[in-house]
Amino acid sequence: MKIVVLDGYTVNPGDLSWDALKALGECTIYDRTSPEQIIERAKEAEVLLTNKVVIDSEVMSKLPALKYIGVMATGYNIIDLKAAKERGIIVTNVPAYSTPSVGQMVFAHILNITQRVGHYSDEVSQGKWTNCPDFCYWDTPLIELLGKKIGLIRLGQTGYNTARIALGFGMKVWAYTSKSKLQLPPEIKKMELDQIFRECDIVSLHCPLTEDTREMVNARRLAMMKPSAILINTGRGQLINEQDLADALNSGKLYAAGVDVLSTEPPMADNPLLTAKNCFITPHIAWATSAARERLMAIMIGNIKAYSAGKPENNVA
């Protein structure tokens, strides 16, 4: 079995081992692959592994040996699933590997915005506390989470994990979800989407990118939010109209935003969120703890073994 990894660097920049994958067949691993390099590198591959390299119908048509595409991530919008089904190509993803890490990042952003630990550490290093006439020093609002309402947009595994963390802080948890009220624990209240935007102190996005969710956060919904509210996005950048969010932040109609994802990654230099007031951006790293990447690789290996045994797991096509 010939295995080709098109963009292995983000999953494993060198701190993990590829040995378990290499044991499954003849394996070639590329750190990065440009669109122009895909066909040449993958032309003999039976198994093709990709994290963010797009595999569309045209690419598939030029890879006659291809029988399996493994997405080294949970999201699989980089694959033309219709074309894969037509060609009998199995496509799998890696679900739920990053659930604990993403929930952790949600609250890293929330705590950064409400407590500003990094800001105050820098202020102390610059002598602001040393030269302060009082025993303590602060120059931003400090916000307690107890009793605050957090609204979770969708309640899959990551949403549930985030809810559990929020409950630990004594927050009131609301959710926009397809689950019925009877399927939810009593401490999570099912709410309509616009009600969450209108009434919650924090709104956190946990939904996949679809035509229905694309730019669901826009000028209309941002205008519903409290001026003191906080928006968190660890889902997909395209869930937000970035210019609308920047306008809301810069005008003071929204207090702050913490995002780990942008519509284009790496971002264009003119992305309005890069200079927006109270917008805190991390470079798509919620998924990237070493523990999460170890789980990703273990599930990925399991997927390939299941495919080899004729019983594919985690199929999306």
Q: Which residues pair with 5 in a beta bridge?
A: 29, 49
Helices 99-115/157-168 angle, 10° precision: 40
What average pLDDT score do residues 45-58 get? 98
Residue 13 confidence (pLDDT) above 90: yes
Residues 140 and 73 occupy one common structural domain: no
Q: Which residues pair with 4 in a beta bridge?
A: 28, 48
**% pLDDT > 70, the chain:** 100
Q: How confident is the model at residue 286 (pLDDT cuts 50, 70, 90)?
A: very high
Distance CA 144, CA 300 (A): 40
Residue 288 confidence (pLDDT) above 90: yes
Residues 75 and 184 occupy one common structural domain: no
Average pLDDT, the chain: 97
Query: Tell me: the pLDDT tens digits for 183-208?
Result: 999 999 999 999 999 999 999 999 98
Distance CA 103, CA 166 (A): 10
**Spatial contact of 43 and 279, defined as CB atoms under 8 Å apart:** no
Residues 109 and 171 occupy one common structural domain: yes
Residue 92: count of CB within 10 angstroms of its CB: 25
For the purposes of burial, counting CB atoms within 10 Å of the CB of 75, is it exposed (0-12), middle (13-18) or buried (19 or more)? Answer: middle
Strand order through the sheet with 172-176: 188-190, 172-176, 149-153, 202-205, 230-233, 256-259, 279-281
Q: Helix, strand, or coil here: 130?
A: coil
Q: Which residues pair with 176 in a beta bridge?
A: 153
Secondary structure (H, E, C), 51-118? CCCCECHHHHHCCCCCCEEEECCCCCCCECHHHHHHCCCEEECCCCCCHHHHHHHHHHHHHHHHHCHH
Residue 226 maps to a domain: yes
Active-site annotation holder among 116, 206, 284, 295 = 284
The one-character DSSP state at 161 is H
Place of tokens 């102190």: 201
Residues 81 and 220 occupy one common structural domain: no
Residue 250 maps to a domain: yes
Distance CA 74, CA 294 (A): 14
Query: Which structure tokens are listed for 81?
Result: 């699933």
Q: Which residues pair with 204 in a beta bridge?
A: 152, 232
Distance CA 127, CA 260 (A): 31
For the purposes of burial, counting CB atoms within 10 Å of the CB of 135, is it exposed (0-12), middle (13-18) or buried (19 or more)? Answer: exposed
Residue 21 maps to a domain: yes
**% pLDDT > 90, the chain:** 98
Residues 22 and 155 occupy one common structural domain: no
CATH number for the domain harbouring residue 186: 3.40.50.720
Q: Report the candidate in 94, 81, 91, 110 with the shortest Cα–Cα distance to residue 231.
A: 110
Query: Tell me: the pLDDT tens digits for 205-225?
Result: 999 889 999 999 999 999 999
Residues 115 and 256 occupy one common structural domain: yes
Domain that holds residue 90: 2-95+290-308
Residues 84 and 107 occupy one common structural domain: no
Q: How many domains does the chain have?
A: 2
Residues 67 and 108 occupy one common structural domain: no
Tell me, yes or no, if 284 is annotated catalytic. yes
Q: Is the peptide bond before 266 cis (omega within 30 degrees of 0)?
A: yes
Residues 89 and 195 occupy one common structural domain: no
Tell me, yes or no, if 109 is annotated catalytic. no
Looking at per-residue confidence, does 274 or 77 come out higher?
A: 274
Active-site annotation holder among 116, 206, 236, 295 = 236
Q: Is the peptide bond before 208 cis (omega within 30 degrees of 0)?
A: no
Distance CA 317, CA 261 (A): 26
Query: Tell me: the pLDDT tens digits for 125-168?
Result: 999 999 999 999 999 999 999 999 999 999 999 999 999 999 99
Distance CA 142, CA 18 (A): 45
Residue 315 maps to a domain: no
What average pLDDT score do residues 259-288 get? 97
pTM of the predicted model as reported, rounded to 2 decimal places: 0.93
Q: Helix, strand, or coil here: 190?
A: strand
Residues 166 and 226 occupy one common structural domain: yes
Residue 312: count of CB within 10 angstroms of its CB: 15
Residues 31 and 74 occupy one common structural domain: yes
Residue 314 maps to a domain: no
Tell me, yes or no, if 242 is annotated catalytic. no
Residue 316 maps to a domain: no
Residue 265 maps to a domain: yes
Residue 317 maps to a domain: no
Residues 240 and 111 occupy one common structural domain: yes
Active-site annotation holder among 44, 86, 144, 265 = 265
pLDDT given at position 100: 97
Q: How confident is the model at residue 317 (pLDDT cuts 50, 70, 90)?
A: confident
- Alpha-carbon Rg for the chain, nearest whole angstrom, is 22
